Amino acid sequence: MDGLLNNYDFIVIGAGSAGCVLANRLSKDCSNKVLLIEAGGTDRRFYVRMPIGYGKTYYQKDVNWMYMAEPSPGTNNRSSYWPRGKLLGGSSSINAMVYVRGNPQDFDDWQEAGNPGWSYADLLPYFKRMETWQHGEDQYRGGNGPLKVSDVADQLHPLCENFVSAAQELDIDFNSDMNGASQDGVGYYQITTHGGQKMSSARAYLRPAMKRRNLTVITKAHVTRLLFKGKCAVGVEYSKAGKLCQVHSKREVILSAGSINSPQLLQLSGIGPESVLKEANVSVLHHSPAVGRNLQDHLGVDYFYTSKVRTLNDQLRPWWGKLLQGVRYILTRTGPLSLSVNQAGGFVRTRKGLSRPNIQLYYSPVSYTRTPPGKRAMMSPDPFSAMLLGVSNCRPKSRGKIRITSNDAFAAPLIEPNYLSHDDDVQDLLEGVKLLRRLAQTKSLGKVINDEFRPGPECQTDEQMIEDIRGYAWTVFHPTSTCRMGPDPSTNVVDSELKVYGIERLRVADASIFPQLVCGNINAPSIMVGEKASDLILSDIVKNK
């Protein structure tokens, strides 16, 4: 048993995007004793701190859960690889750093679904509080938060300008700040870096807080189950170095283990669909049918083009190019290794009558067709000049689920994405790839493109393009909603204060609570959830005094 038994006010499970925020905010008051438990190890690794190093961590077991999802009929029964961060900072330590909050209407939808306090107007102060935007504070942006957000437009490959000009030729507006007044349009992606190094949630929030005596961080500790007294959460059991330990909380346990591990831990602890628990030989503490349900994820499709001019392929492929850029990065923290390969893009509506974008665009002056779809061999691109244009669907309607298959806490849960099971998702992606071709045929891109080599000119009809989508589309790594927030306990897991229905002193605070997937990348809104959750928890302390 742990020697610090009953010594914590709060136990936070998972040092990811939201968990690091909670550890920081809850421990700011020195009277709160906080324990943060993380299954992985340190984030102080070269390839974690180097921005383009996410290509290395993509298949690195030491820092990555390396999940495999089940085959989906809608994607021709292909299984998909789901990397998730297993280290301080969680997935914010191994992601591609693109900083997008989501569409303001997304959050208004959250509130309209029965979640008071979660409208865009309610959440904008948290988005501002969490960030230091490079150009300073304004009506929409924060200027003094822990998370540094960089504008790297002047460092991007010159071909990004061709992409932006191509979009303007198609009457798609330029947007200088997709996190500002409007999300619509194309521009240059902002990224979470500072001084040429990745700005993860661990670097932004956790490292400064670790100096506090009232915050304890335990790494390489795999949580096996939650502990209860009746239906009140009182602690956590975890395994470290082969030894089972238990710790107890005086106030609350907060589950911030992410959209895969949070529902998994609830189910392992007896909270979930009764049929799933019984089949896995887990005693039912509380029947909560929505735990692990409502899984949502963005799907991406890329079209590749050979280039008449030099691209990042030419800088990164030759051995001397790798050496040159490596030395440049080590000495100056600049160059391609200090950036993401997702350099430009934006949000568009592919048809009239839509209230917000339905497609996210990506432009990368690089190509990786010699690797499996989705693999990130960042330092080994194709041995010829090429680029990619990509799309992902903003508001997928397909729903999947996550469930345990045994009571073994070390066994990966079953992930069933159920991709493209809704026809609207297929239609959005079809319209998206048609837009890619229109972009490639503009004067701005046409003058630098030789030809399309994936999927190629033989793919022309709607039927052929849909078949290509089903055979190629891959996850954009944005799983959410498996512990969904909402007013009905029969279809949701937590209420608007993130309290787990039917259980006392237990909350969930991570991307799994999203009522619906946002339009864009999910790291920023996940951090926001940590900020909002910390205020909800601290306000309860004041109320209960």
**140: in domain:** no
Give per-residue pLDDT as tens, 361-383. Answer: 999 999 988 665 445 566 789 99
Assess whether 166 and 273 both reside in one domain: no
> HSE on the CB side for 394, CA within 13 Å?
27
How many domains is the chain built from? 2
Structure tokens belonging to residue 380: 């080994």
Distance CA(259)–CA(261), nearest Å, equals 6
Assess whether 450 and 347 both reside in one domain: yes
Assess whether 382 and 403 both reside in one domain: no
Instruction: Decide if 286 contacts 231 (C-beta within 8 A).
Output: yes
Structure tokens belonging to residue 433: 């790839």
**194: in domain:** no
Instruction: With a cut of 80, say whether residue 3 has pLDDT above it.
Output: no
Give per-residue pLDDT as tens, 121-135. Answer: 999 999 999 999 999
CATH number of the domain at 447, please: 3.30.410.40
Give the mean model confidence (pLDDT) for residues 21-40: 98
Please indicate, yes or no, whether the overall pTM of this predicted structure exceeds 0.85: yes
Assess whether 332 and 319 both reside in one domain: yes
Instruction: Decide if 458 contacts 237 (C-beta within 8 A).
Output: no
Give per-residue pLDDT as tens, 251-297. Answer: 999 999 999 999 999 999 999 999 999 999 999 999 999 999 999 99
Distance CA(69)–CA(63), nearest Å, equals 18
Instruction: With a cut of 90, say whether residue 16 has pLDDT above it.
Output: yes
Assess whether 371 and 508 both reside in one domain: no
Q: What separation, in Å, do the N-terminal and C-terminal C-alpha atoms of the chain show?
A: 31
Residue 90: give the domain boundaries.
1-133+200-296+399-418+477-545
- Written as one letter, the residue type at 543 is K
Give the mean model confidence (pLDDT) for residues 179-198: 98
3-state secondary structure of 324: helix
3-state secondary structure of 36: strand
Give per-residue pLDDT as tens, 88-102. Answer: 999 999 999 999 999
Give the mean model confidence (pLDDT) for residues 325-351: 96
pLDDT above 90: percentage of residues in the chain: 94
Assess whether 231 and 335 both reside in one domain: no
- Give pLDDT, residue 379: 73
- Give pLDDT, residue 288: 98
Q: Residues 6 or more apart from 11 whose CB is under 8 A from it?
A: 34, 35, 37, 235, 236, 247, 249, 252, 253, 254
Assess whether 339 and 208 both reside in one domain: no
Give per-residue pLDDT as tens, 471-503. Answer: 999 999 999 999 999 999 999 999 999 999 999
Nearest to 159 by CA among 348, 320, 389, 371: 389
Assess whether 468 and 509 both reside in one domain: no
Catalytic center residues = 478
Structure tokens belonging to residue 288: 């909560």
